[in-house]
Amino acid sequence: MAEAGTQPIIIKRIKKHAHGYHGGSWKVAYADFVTAMMAFFMLSWLLGSTTEQERSMIQGYFQNPSMIPGQAGSSSQILDMGGSMATVGAIVGTGQEEQTSESESKDEMSDAEALMEQIEQEKLDMLLESLEYAIEENESLKAYKDQLILDFTEEGLRIQLIDKDDRPMFDTGSDELKSYSRDIFRELVKVIEEVPNRISISGHTDLHPYGAGASYTNWELSTDRANSARRELLGNGMADARIGRVVGLASSLPFDPEDPYHPSNRRISLVVLNRATEDSLFGGPIETDANVQTVF
């Protein structure tokens, strides 16, 4: 017990916290904050350096990663810190690369098709020159050069054999070829055989009709004459596979529209079909093993 008049002594003890303000946890939190801010800055920088199309593709990737080629999280998905996609397989790079490759393939196909068309046209140009030379030099053709019309159409090289009043290819109303008409076809086959293209044959008449109520009309006559021309070509050595089309057009496509009764409207038209027409009508040119000679 304390003596009377003695001052009591009070001792204050300060309890120290082991993890107070001088601990390290706040540093970790601050480092995480700085890292997050840096990542946000880098993301903003990268997005600012991309195009609208690239941003749209990035958005699509995060909405549905399976739509973008490549596995999510793989090295091919890493973004280059320089602001562009790291590899060909990057998020937007992959899709653009495939589009570019597809575009290049289409361009190559277009170039190849253009080259094929050029070669095809050169082949038909040479055939035209051969025909013109034959008409000038061959006595069997030279006598009828005013009845042989050569020109190009969308389908190919056209050879038209037209009638004259004093020198028709057929007798009136008949599908029987005149002897000199046969000579013309024989000489034409020799030149046309230089190319393997299919041939289209069409028969044409003038507007003179058959008698009223006749069951046999210019449609039948033009078709029969076209078939007579076909048989003549085959009989002179042309392969049957070369005949691509035989049609009778009556007076529907006159040679002289201003005078549908003119003899020149009566004609046989042979077209050496170009590759584009053969592709459209037959799915491609004649196979080489199809060129078998057929003689009637």
Residue 29 backbone dihedrals phi, psi, to 5 degrees: -65, -40
| Structural domain boundaries in the chain | 25-91, 124-290
- pLDDT reported for residue 72: 46
For residues 119 and 122, give the distance between their C-alpha atoms in angstroms, rounded to a whole number.
5
- pLDDT reported for residue 2: 52
For residues 240 and 198, give the distance between their C-alpha atoms in angstroms, rounded to a whole number.
10
- pLDDT reported for residue 27: 59
- Structure tokens of 208? 């003179």
- pLDDT reported for residue 95: 58
For residues 156 and 127, give the distance between their C-alpha atoms in angstroms, rounded to a whole number.
11
For residues 271 and 245, give the distance between their C-alpha atoms in angstroms, rounded to a whole number.
10
Please tell me what DSSP assigns to residue 293: B
- pLDDT reported for residue 79: 42
Cα dihedral angle (182, 186, 187, 193), rounded to 10 degrees?
150
Length of the chain measured in residues: 296
For residues 37 and 31, give the distance between their C-alpha atoms in angstroms, rounded to a whole number.
10
Q: Which fold has domain 124-290?
A: 60s Ribosomal Protein L30; Chain: A; (3.30.1330)
- pLDDT reported for residue 82: 46
Q: Is the pTM of this model over 0.85?
A: no
For residues 178 and 181, give the distance between their C-alpha atoms in angstroms, rounded to a whole number.
5
- pLDDT tens, residue order, the chain (296 aa): 555 566 777 666 665 555 554 555 565 667 778 788 888 877 787 777 777 777 777 777 776 665 555 544 444 444 444 444 444 444 455 556 566 666 666 666 677 778 788 888 899 999 999 999 999 999 889 989 999 999 999 999 999 999 988 899 999 899 999 999 999 999 999 999 999 999 999 999 999 998 888 899 999 999 999 999 999 999 999 999 999 999 999 999 999 999 999 999 999 999 999 999 999 999 988 875 544 443 33
Cα dihedral angle (243, 245, 251, 255), rounded to 10 degrees?
-60
- pLDDT reported for residue 42: 78
For residues 158 and 145, give the distance between their C-alpha atoms in angstroms, rounded to a whole number.
15
Long-range contacts, 126-129 (Cβ 8 Å, 24+) = 126/194, 127/157, 127/191, 127/192, 127/194, 127/195, 127/272, 128/152, 128/157
Sequence-ordered list of residues with C-beta below 8 angstroms from that of 149, at least 6 positions apart, any chain? 158, 159, 160, 162
